[in-house]
Amino acid sequence: MEATVERLIDTGDRERLSRELHDGKYSTVASDIKTGWAYYAARLGKADMLRLLVERCHGMPLEKDAQGRNLLHAAAASGDRDTMAFALQVLGMDALAGDPQGITPLDIAAQTSPKALKALEELCGVRLADCYRNPVLRGFRPDPSIVRVGEDYYMINSSFVMVPALPISHSRDLVHWETIGHVFTDPDTAHLRGLNGGFGYWAPDISYYKGRFWVVATLHTAAVPVRTQMITSAPTPQGPWDSPKFLDVDGIDPSIFTDDDGKRYLVTNIGAQITPLSDEGDLLDAPRMIWYGWNRIKSEGPHLLKKDGWYYLFMAGGGTGFGHVESCARSRSIYGPYESCPFNPILGKKDEYAYIRRSGHGKPVQLPDGRWAFVYLCGRRVEEKTLMGRETALDPLEWTPDGWPMVNRLKGPSCLQKKLLPDVPVEQNEPWVCPRLSPESFSCIEADGSIRLQGGAELSDMADAHALLHRLREASVSLEATVDVRQMELGCTAGLTGYYDEHSYFLLGLRKTAQGADVVLRQHIGEEDMEETLCSVPGWQAKLRIEGRGLTFTASCAEAKGTKAFRCEYLTDEGLKMGKRFTGALVGLAAVGTGQAAFRNVREEMNDVQD
């Protein structure tokens, strides 16, 4: 029966297919098969046949096919303008909506032909060249806060126990970001020694007041009090930052709000509570709760905004997983009562096929021309898990005539979005980081680009592990280096690592022996340690390489034949039930033991899987 319908679609026999559908010949056929007919017609560019199938097959689920793509994806693959127009204009499909790999109909049209791309661009009113892709800050950049000063935008993100801590980025177009500094470079000043991987600095906020930049963040420790709020300021985002104050206020995710009359408030969660704040950043009163949240589940990330006489309170909820959403409430008085937005959540994606999910915890920013944007955290889907951690995305924010905010017109996080400002590219400068230690305390980068690491403790150690790491920014990664352990003691190891925290990592290392060196793959997963010797090499150096595509990694050594593939679910947020799993995976170099290891010809490449 399927072949009969497909043959009628092939030949374009609309009259016969219409008659058979009208007579109920296919009334007992499953809806997924009927959906398959629609996608078949769309891929062939048979607009009339597609229209007929949609009109006559009532209840046909049109939104997604088995690949998680909509009918406009299929129509774009045909390149037929009429078919694309029907899917876009009549069926309401979105040309910027991504499939589970983040590929949009505009991307498909570009792959099909220049003519197909031009046709779809004209139909949807957006040029692919005028778009950007989310996330805009990729890899382990959660909890964004943003401030605009003139035409410059400054962003800060959580860093947990990584040093340097609390990275600050700069942009002039909201898409291209350059890391320009950190609030802390000294782990002792930052009080990060000995903390678990998910502890440290949470959800910072950056603001501007009377010529100075202000940062507040929660410091989460194992001591009492467990949570305090750190506050500091500086004349520029690059610093120097004042010695931090620690405010005895419970809760998490602080931000600073300045009212029209110049009064300042510290806004924290436990619901949302505010505390009057002096110009010097001291507490003036006790905290007072003003709103408990829209869904009343793990409310976090509160930010206040004053607009048109209303106090708008933006706040996330639902936990840090796939149920994460953003909501809003407003009041004429800062102390409330607050009215919940009638279409909460204003951001959040429940689509099981979505590439970008767990979106929320955001902050609005106004552009110089009066338009608004919203930065927020999100997580990209990699084999149903979150490998790159929570990242930072950007979407337009618009206001309804009665004064309620809408992020991306309530369509959820975008994969592809029209640029808000002209491009201002910046130099990519991903900084090296290390858990709890300053990278400069054990590493040295030579003039020729080679890197030397002093050996340290096992990577499971929360005090003295020596790892030089970059955030994993894409699901496809390769890292290679010639590793030299001649200046290390026997039995010591140095090599390439994939690292999440002290509970979960791997090390492809060169272990020094009396005869030369063994290439070993060590995996630490929770309380389990696994080690495998892949080969032995003469001398004390070898070229090692790791390649990752999704959750499958491959280890290899240039001096030996063969590769070793292994799975790395344990590098994802969901991959292990131990500790606080909402940071992100990193890759880099590590040295374990006594002595010094050298890394030459270090090469790193990261690409989006769709590339």
Instruction: Please answer whether residues 350 and 107 qualify as being in contact, where contact means their C-beta atoms are separated by less than 8 angstroms.
Output: no
Which among 143, 326, 391, 395 is annotated as catalytic? 143
**Which residues, 6 or more positions from 448, have their beta carbon under 8 angstroms from its beta carbon?**
600
Q: Which of 107, 121, 300, 480 is catalytic?
A: 300
Q: Is 300 a catalytic residue?
A: yes
Return d(Cα 496, Cα 18) in angstroms, integer. 62
User: b/e per residue, 487-508, with b = 16+ CB within 10 A?
Assistant: bbeeebbbbbbbbbbbbbbbbb
Q: 3-class SS at 76?
A: helix
3-state secondary structure 541-590: EEEEEEEEECCEEEEEECCCCCEEEEECHHHCCCCCCCCCCCCCCEEEEE
- Cα separation, 220 vs 226, whole angstroms: 6
Measure the CA–CA gap between 440 and 429, rounded to whole angstroms: 17
CB atoms within 10 A of CB 462: 17
- Long-range contact pairs involving 80-85 (C-beta distance under 8 Å, separation at least 24): 80/45, 80/46, 80/47, 81/119, 81/123, 82/45, 82/47, 83/41, 83/42, 83/45, 83/46, 83/47, 83/50, 84/109, 84/116, 84/119, 84/120, 84/123, 85/47, 85/123
Q: Angle at CA 203, nearest 5°, toward 133 and 212?
A: 95
Taking the C-alpha atoms of residue 304 and residue 273, their distance in angstroms, rounded to an integer, is: 11
Is residue 369 classed as helix, strand or coil in its secondary structure?
coil
Q: With H, G, I as helix, E, B as strand and everything else as coil, classify residue 129.
A: helix
Active site residue 547: no
The catalytic residue positions are 143, 300
